[in-house]
Amino acid sequence: MGYDHHFEQLKNIVRAYLPEDVPEGAIGEDSNFVNELNINSANLVDIVLDVEDAFGIRLENEDMDNMQTVRDALNIVAQKLQDKK
Amino acid sequence: MNRRVVVTGLGICAPNGVGLPSFFDSMLHGRSGIKFYQELADLGFGCQIAGQPEIPESLKESYFTSLQLRNLRASGIVYGVMAGTDAWKDAGLEKAEKDRPDWDSGIIFGTGILGIDKLRESIYLIDDKNTRRLGSNSVMQTMASGISAYLGGILGCGNQVTTNSSACATGTEAVIMGMERIRAGKAERILVGSCSDSGPYIWGGFDAMRILPSKYNGNPQQASRPMSANASGFVPGSGAGAMVLESLGSALERGAKIYAEVLGGATNSGGQRGLGTMTAPNSEAVQRCIQEALVDAGVEKWEVDVINGHLTATSKDAEEIRNWSEALGRSGKDFPYINTTKGLVGHCLAAAGSIECVATLLQYREGLVFGNQNCSDLHPEIMNLVDASKIPLKSIAHRPKIIAKASFGFGDVNACVIFNEYKEI
């Protein structure tokens, strides 16, 4: 399960939290969740929970603080999965 | 000089009808929304029947975004948003544009307790030391003002956005509060109404107080019997009603249709003094409330044409009729027409006042007075006060003029609003 696959999984999660006027295609690796995708900051909490469920990991408060962009999230996921091994 | 206030939009999510056409049809033909619920039987409730709006999942999608529907477990918010959005649309109003709220429009939408199923789910997670799994939406679904907050965001209202709460008087109180704000020139339009959640966690406390009927589980539609000699308790209900109140100036400028005028109203409390208690009304306060509403509306006692009572189907119904009779100084054939909506929907608690106001206002549109259900066996004390011809058992053709609508709630609180047919003056 590589980076690209993780990106697709994450995209599927994030899609549900996009405001109605932001198309799914706007989700890129460099997208900032709040500033670019206009995701309500309260919903970041829900994205974190969905990510935990999807990848079988647990994200701490500092992980959430560091999760500004899609790439940040993918890096954190990769690191957590690595730590689990 | 007070500004005139009119009703320009209605919305309804009632046990016997979701949306105005369905609700009107049920009210006209005396179709009940009260059913047996296996869930209540399984939980060992004495009263296993209730009135609950039936909402297909697909219908919710036209009111909520898919994101809003995720983990939405507050039935009161579903009912309130549907009724509120419908009322706005019925008034011919648009949602505010993306970047600018409508500063002249507000929301006063009441409830008793909101999102109780969400609250239960949250409590289980917290007790399981799993607070972090609550996610972001437990607060907004369980705060009382969740309903006005959801509606405020959907419609983009920039005036006062708040939630009132006065038990079973909540919905009628909201109408009076909205009227006062528009009268005072502080808003042009207020969406008023109220909602109440469904389910055993809302209704259980009343079952425990043994004020719900337990002998009608096999024939639910006969259970809610306001004014009947055999009234044996109120049938619990849920739902929401909503009205757009508007300054007459704004309504005329928009060319909006006008259902009726809100002439005045009053709220008070019996202070739980005299015979008034937490759960029983002080009759002196009830009569004062009715009379103060008439004074506020500038209406004489003889002018009241139709009453929509609180009349829940308990032993207090006869006392309520006596209060109306004494407050208005009228009885027998001189008594106004009186009806109650609860025979068909049960007692929708915090939503009762607004659902019943919507029913009351539809009578103006249709030129009729809705019939009463399950009271062909009138209570003898009521028969002594009111001629039976004034308590129609079927809907009758009659163009209502002044209608008085009252609601009374736990805490010994009262609300009475006075509507009038709209007349250009």
For the segment B285-343, what is each residue's pLDDT rounded down to a tens digit?
A: 999 999 999 999 999 999 999 999 999 999 899 999 999 999 999 999 999 999 999 99
pLDDT tens for B70-96 read 999 999 999 999 999 999 999 999 999
pLDDT over 80 (residue B410): yes
Mean pLDDT of B388-395: 97
pLDDT over 90 (residue B284): yes
State how far the alpha carbon of B178 is from the alpha carbons of A32, B42, B183, B199, in Å.
Answer: 42, 42, 9, 29
Cβ neighbors of B289 (< 8 A, separation 6 or more) are B266, B267, B268, B406, B414, B415, B416
Paired tokens of B176: 């009076």
Question: Any CB–CB contact under 8 A between B70 and chain A?
Answer: yes
Please tell me the distance in Å from A40's CA to the nearest CA on chain B. Answer: 10
Percent of chain A at pLDDT exceeding 90: 86
**Chain A residues with CB inside 8 Å of B63's CB?**
none
Please tell me the distance in Å from A18's CA to the nearest CA on chain B. Answer: 8
Would the CB atoms of A49 and B135 count as touching at under 8 Å? yes
Please tell me the distance in Å from A4's CA to the nearest CA on chain B. Answer: 25
Mean pLDDT of A66-85: 93
How far is C-alpha B332 from the chain's CA centre? 28
Residue B142 to residue B119: CA distance in whole angstroms: 6
Q: What does the domain layout of chain B look like in residue ranges?
A: 5-254, 263-420
Residue length, chain A?
A: 85
pLDDT tens for A14-41 read 999 999 889 999 999 999 999 999 999 8
Paired tokens of A2: 């590589």
**Chain A residues with CB inside 8 Å of B67's CB?**
16-18, 43
pLDDT over 80 (residue A2): no
Q: Which residues pair with B244 in a beta bridge?
A: B9, B191
Mean pLDDT of B225-251: 97
Paired tokens of B415: 């609300």
Question: Any CB–CB contact under 8 A between B66 and chain A?
Answer: yes
Mean pLDDT of B115-128: 98
Average pLDDT, chain B: 97
Q: Which residues pair with B347 in a beta bridge?
A: B236
C-alpha gyration radius of chain A: 12
Q: State the residue for tokens 């007349």.
A: B423
Residue B133 to residue B130: CA distance in whole angstroms: 6
Residue B296 to residue B274: CA distance in whole angstroms: 25
pLDDT band at B425 (very low <50, low <70, confident <90, very high): confident
**Chain A residues with CB inside 8 Å of B66's CB?**
16
pLDDT at B424: 87
Contact status, residue B352 vs residue B168, Cβ threshold 8 Å: yes
pLDDT at A12: 94
Mutate to test the interface with B, among A14, A24, A38, A49 (most CBs of B within 10 A): A49
CA-nearest of B289, B277, B313, B276 to B405 is: B289
Would the CB atoms of A16 and B70 count as touching at under 8 Å? yes
Mean pLDDT of B281-286: 97
Mean pLDDT of B241-259: 98
Mutate to test the interface with B, among A24, A43, A57 (most CBs of B within 10 A): A43
Question: Any CB–CB contact under 8 A between A16 and chain B?
Answer: yes
Please give the DSSP secondary-structure letter assigned to residue A46.
Answer: H
**Architecture label for domain B5-254:** 3-Layer(aba) Sandwich (3.40)
Please tell me the distance in Å from A26's CA to the nearest CA on chain B. Answer: 17
A17 → closest Cβ in B67, B132, B133: B67
A13 → chain B, closest CA residue: B67
Query: Of the given ranges (A60-64, B328-332, B335-339, B373-377), which has the lowest mean pLDDT?
Result: A60-64
Paired tokens of B218: 């096999």
**H helix or E strand, kind and range, residue B402:** strand B402-409
Identify each DSSP E strand in B257-395 by its residue range: 260-269, 304-308, 337-339, 368-369
Q: Could you say which residues from 28 to 67 on chain A have a Cβ atom under 8 Å away from some Cβ of chain B? A: 42-43, 45-46, 49
**Chain A residues with CB inside 8 Å of B137's CB?**
46
Residue B284 sits at the vertex; the CA angle it makes with B281 and B288, to the nearest 5 degrees, is: 110
pLDDT over 80 (residue B260): yes
A49 → closest Cβ in B65, B67, B133: B133
Mean pLDDT of A41-69: 93
pLDDT band at B101 (very low <50, low <70, confident <90, very high): very high
Would the CB atoms of A16 and B65 count as touching at under 8 Å? no
Mean pLDDT of B248-273: 98
B71 → chain A, closest CA residue: A46
pTM of the model: 0.96
Selected from 3.30.300.20, 3.30.70.270, 3.40.47.10, 3.40.50.800, the CATH number assigned to the domain covering B263-420 reads 3.40.47.10
Report the half-sphere exposure of A33 (CA within 13 A, side-chain side).
28
Tell me, what amino acid is at B211? I
pLDDT band at A1 (very low <50, low <70, confident <90, very high): low
Would the CB atoms of B137 and A17 count as touching at under 8 Å? no
| CB neighbours of residue B337 within 10 Å | 21
Question: Any CB–CB contact under 8 A between B65 and chain A?
Answer: yes
- Torsion over CA of A25, B136, B60 and B154, rounded to 10 degrees? -80
pLDDT tens for B11-46 read 999 999 999 999 999 999 999 999 999 999 999 999
pLDDT at B270: 97
Phi, psi values for residue B315, rounded to 5°: -65, -10
pLDDT at B141: 98
Question: Any CB–CB contact under 8 A between B298 and chain A?
Answer: no
Please give the DSSP secondary-structure letter assigned to residue B35.
Answer: E
CA-nearest of B202, B162, B208, B213 to B34 is: B213
Cβ neighbors of A27 (< 8 A, separation 6 or more) are A11, A14, A15, A18, A37, A70
We report the CATH number of the domain holding residue A21 as 1.10.1200.10
Paired tokens of B185: 């020139």
CA-nearest of B308, B307, B298, B356 to B170 is: B356
Residue B161 to residue B338: CA distance in whole angstroms: 34
**H helix or E strand, kind and range, residue B189:** strand B189-196
Contact status, residue B108 vs residue B162, Cβ threshold 8 Å: yes
Cβ neighbors of B270 (< 8 A, separation 6 or more) are B276, B281, B282, B283, B284, B285, B286, B412, B414
How many angstroms separate the first and last alpha carbons of chain A? 14
Mutate to test the interface with A, among B61, B130, B132 (most CBs of A within 10 A): B132
Cα diameter, chain B: 65
Contact status, residue B314 vs residue B211, Cβ threshold 8 Å: yes
C-alpha gyration radius of chain B: 20
pLDDT over 80 (residue B1): no
Domain extent for A27: 3-84
| CB neighbours of residue B107 within 10 Å | 29
Q: Say if B5-254 and B263-420 have the same CATH topology.
A: yes
Query: Of the given ranges (A61-70, B164-173, B339-348), which has the lowest mean pLDDT?
Result: A61-70
| CB neighbours of residue A78 within 10 Å | 14
